[in-house]
Structure 1
């Protein structure tokens, strides 16, 4: 399933980037803890500085690396697919004596493996540092690391799958980001319009509905620091962990199917599969109509603004979808 020769080739192809990212990411949180500890010690020695407690503490829920570690998933996936297609290297990779499933699994194993190693290594170093510094509190240490790992792998799977569907790095990023907010577009926009048409005074757009039904199934939610993920314990009993794991597996399977079936002759196109060009264009136009229609209504609270907004949205959606999907890069 994973070939050593192919794994070596994939590593050497972006070796410097992988090494730099690993070094920075592994040392990021320990470095931030040390910096915070150093500042705390200086504050203790400064009579003008006021501290709440004479004991040092560090809140991992606000750690910059753990909040942004999902960027690794985006970077690795774009390097492995988008940049490789932009440079014309994908055709060479597919010409090697390996099956497409083997190539897919090897690429995924490399990217996901590096992400996992980074988080584990950072966790171990930070844990040893905590033992040495003996802080008073370390809220969110275990759960923050675990959620950062799960969300990073989920985002990596999302962009990885998008890379198997698209013909360039820009297309890959656009498709992945659109998928990340897709539940808001597919569920949220129609509900907003249903509320307007039926004049239900906001009953269909209740905040709790979005919080409990749409946000958990939206990948974009899991890359926003301090959203709702830290309310869940370290074990896998809440949707804060289960849902991103399910989405990760789903994106992985979508990417596998797409990569095995995709045609080579459409490299450079927005989508590699010609059959999905028209359905996606229709979806973009509909989202444009719904989005601009609602924006037009909220601007002046009139049916005229609603209709004008829908017309503008349809034109913008049609032009945008045509320029993105049907023009080769």
Structure 2
């Protein structure tokens, strides 16, 4: 059984937790509910926490210089209140690994909030990020920030899960920091880093190769910053195939011709997207168990997050 550290995730309070929506409603989301079994949620409702009631008249983002957060029915400008709350709340977070927020919300929407050119909210001119999210992205660069609707997409969901569990792992390392633990951490993440960002893998390798006990904390801080900057986009199919073939190299002289041909056929199927990534991964893990290849069995690339979350 894989032992995963528990990510800390800021969650919009209206998702499964409390009826804090502008219309007094609550959002039921099965993914967020299941994820809650494996993470620690930090609930937030920026609109309620700046003093707006439940229910309340809607608020909107108005395109301006700078943009404004306005309640059309009262013409109240809430921009400064939201800015002050956002900065205070985010600065109060002692530790966090990601954000799961409400789609389309003028405070929490990640990319799909309506953007208006008039203070009455009559004419949307496009989509934008909510006002709270803008501060999140400014203060927590490279951290995973998603909403419940975007996570319906399998690729976005897998990247989000990979990041929150990797970020929890690097955060947990800080509480148990030794030279050997940092080296072991880097070893476990080599194949994942090879897949996501080979430039950063080389930079992190240099940090680990030059560790000094009297500067271990500084080395960790440098390592953690580069590590968190390594997962900014989903890897290509080609990047995954490169990693899978690298891992397969550990067994190519130990298995039969038929086994080798079968594995390469699976890789071909994966390249054509007729099988998913877990199919070649399970073959690699089977070989690793058979030949007791401990290095590969410990690679986080093969088990980036709890298996129960794959089925969502």
TM-score (norm 2): 0.29
- The structure where helix makes up a greater share of residues is 1
Using structure 1 for the length normalisation, give the TM-score: 0.28
Which one scores higher on RCO, CA 8 angstroms, separation ≥ 6?
A: 1
